[in-house]
């Protein structure tokens, strides 16, 4: 739990630093350090509450687009701390935007809280499934959602005290594990006017990663065959299954023999 605690603090400090950098370009390092310390203490003082929230989301272990309890818990936490929450945005019942403050800069923080199927696990460090429970949190989205909300609240306190200026928005993003919740939120224009969006993910150590990852685009392909008698006139038939097998083989060959950059640019 110590590591999780450290991770929460780290990410909050990172956000505070970025926020401060954008909000008050001429602030001295000293004042930024003071805000960092204040934020760390603020988060530390709420540690038991935040831990409880994270463990509740762990227990809920709700799949993408069905994160009803997890989303509600995070929304209520933000409301209790003075945020205005718009729920059910982009036509998704578990998506939300929580806002505090006004004016520029507008800083967004993403929160995710969906679980995965087939990895039921209690909260012990060894593989221990829970009877009659299928879902679980594989990569720490219970911390992810909680950490982002905690960060939003910490920044809100600084805004409220007039120590920084601007708007903080916590975006509750459903279905990160496979479902593209954020895509619909962007398409709805919910991120329009946001100056920067900060993101993080639970990990087994504190670090920043400067890399990119492949985006993916899904599509449906349909294969149609032509029926023909198998022994009288097989040459007149066209097998849809053959086409499926052929495309599978050719896509595999493309992946093995072309670089990711080629695939990205010539797709």
Least Å from the CB of residue 115 to Zn ion: 10
Q: Which is nearer to Zn ion, 139 or 197 (CB)?
A: 139
Least Å from the CB of residue 63 to Zn ion: 13
Strand partners, 116: 136
Q: Quick check: 119 binds Zn ion (CB under 5 A)?
A: no
Q: Which is nearer to Zn ion, 38 or 177 (CB)?
A: 177
Cβ atoms within 10 A of the Cβ of 243, count? 14
Least Å from the CB of residue 139 to Zn ion: 4
Q: Quick check: 186 binds Zn ion (CB under 5 A)?
A: no
Q: Quick check: 139 binds Zn ion (CB under 5 A)?
A: yes
Q: In this chain, which residue has its C-beta nearest to Zn ion?
A: 139
Q: Which is nearer to Zn ion, 113 or 184 (CB)?
A: 113
Backbone angles phi, psi at 223, to 5 degrees: -115, 125
Least Å from the CB of residue 144 to Zn ion: 7
Q: Which is nearer to Zn ion, 139 or 194 (CB)?
A: 139
Residues lying near Zn ion in the complex (CB under 5 A) are found at 139
């Amino acid at each position: 739990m110590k590591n999780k605690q450290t991770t929460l603090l780290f990410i909050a400090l990172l956000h505070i630093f970025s926020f401060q950098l954008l909000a008050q370009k001429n602030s001295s390092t000293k004042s930024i350090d003071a805000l960092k310390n204040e934020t760390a203490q603020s988060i530390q003082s709420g540690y038991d509450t935040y831990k409880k929230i994270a463990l509740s989301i762990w227990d809920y272990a709700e799949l993408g687009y069905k994160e009803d309890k997890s989303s509600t818990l995070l929304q209520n936490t933000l409301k209790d701390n003075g945020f205005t929450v718009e729920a059910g945005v982009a036509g998704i019942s578990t998506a939300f935007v929580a806002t505090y403050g006004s004016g520029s800069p507008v800083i967004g923080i993403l929160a995710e809280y969906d679980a995965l199927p087939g990895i039921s696990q209690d909260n012990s460090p060894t593989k221990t499934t829970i009877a009659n429970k299928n879902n679980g949190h594989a990569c720490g989205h219970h911390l992810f959602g909680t950490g982002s909300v905690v960060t939003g609240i910490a920044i809100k306190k600084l805004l409220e005290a007039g120590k920084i200026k601007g708007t903080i928005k916590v975006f509750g993003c459903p279905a990160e594990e496979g479902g593209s919740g954020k895509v619909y939120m962007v398409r709805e224009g919910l991120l329009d006017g946001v100056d920067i969006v900060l993101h993080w993910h639970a990990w087994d150590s504190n670090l920043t990663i400067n890399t990119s990852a492949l985006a993916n685009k899904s599509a449906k392909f349909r294969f149609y065959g032509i029926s023909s008698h198998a022994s009288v006139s097989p040459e007149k038939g066209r097998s849809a299954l053959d086409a499926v097998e052929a495309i599978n083989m050719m896509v595999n060959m493309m992946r093995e023999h072309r670089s990711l950059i080629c695939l990205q640019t010539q797709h």
